Amino acid sequence: MNGQVIDWRPYLPKSAGKEELYEQFKQKAEALTVKVIRVSTKEEAEKAIVEVMKEFNVKKAAAAPLTLVNSQVIKEEAKKEGIDLGLEQDKDWIEQSDFGISEFDIGIAELGTVVQDAQSIHERLVSMLPPTHLAIIETKTIVDTFADSLQIIQKAYNGNPPHYIAYVTGPSKTADIERVLTIGVHGPSKVIYVCIG
């Protein structure tokens, strides 16, 4: 497998992160019932994440490796609130968690989507298995369109994309019974985006 971890940020278009892109991103995501939280610093993000877990009455949580925030800090702060945050790549733990935390490489304004190199099974399990998922992105990585995201991937990996890329746009849903939109089938029923910067 291709395996290498590549930073997408050097390949962002110039317009990425513009205020109106964030506004659009937020509006599109909220229309899909996503909770969007904006913070300016790493510390604020850590705090906000613990707050959200409290608000959602989380007992057990799981996080994939994080770089934009300090997962140890979150783990300790969470503990004080009686929340057990697991940082290990442990399928059973993740499956039993009520909350998953992971980072995404970019956001897409026109859709309210977050995108991630998801080659690591840890990244995928955390965003798929628990009923609530929190995705962290940097506001400056929000691009305009889906087509922009394709270009970034092509450039970042030089035409040799990673073996698994995940685009996530809001909660898991179905309309298979009488076309009634119902959230939370096989994936999370609640999604939260934390935007840093």
Nearest distance, CB of residue 140 and other proteins, angstroms: 22
Instruction: Give, in order, the Cα–Cα distances in Å from 123 to each of 17, 117, 194.
Output: 24, 9, 16
Binding pattern for the stretch 76-115 against other proteins, x by CB under 8 A and - elsewhere: -------------xxxx--x--------------xxxx--
Q: What is the identity of the amino acid at 10?
A: P
Residues 130-159 that bind other proteins (CB under 8 A): 146-147, 150-151, 153-154, 159
Q: Tokens 């995404």 belong to which residue?
A: 104
Rounded Cα gap, residues 115 and 134, in angstroms: 13
Q: Which value, to the nearest 10 degrees, does the dihedral of the CA atoms of residues 11, 14, 15, 16 take?
A: 30
- Asked if 5 is part of the footprint of other proteins (rule: CB under 8 A), the reply reads no
Number of Cβ within a 10 Å radius of residue 179: 7
Quick one: 80 or 186, whose CB is closer to other proteins? 186
Quick one: 45 or 63, whose CB is closer to other proteins? 63
Binding site for other proteins (CB under 8 A): 1-2, 28, 89-92, 95, 110-113, 119-121, 124-125, 128, 146-147, 150-151, 153-154, 159-180, 182, 184-188
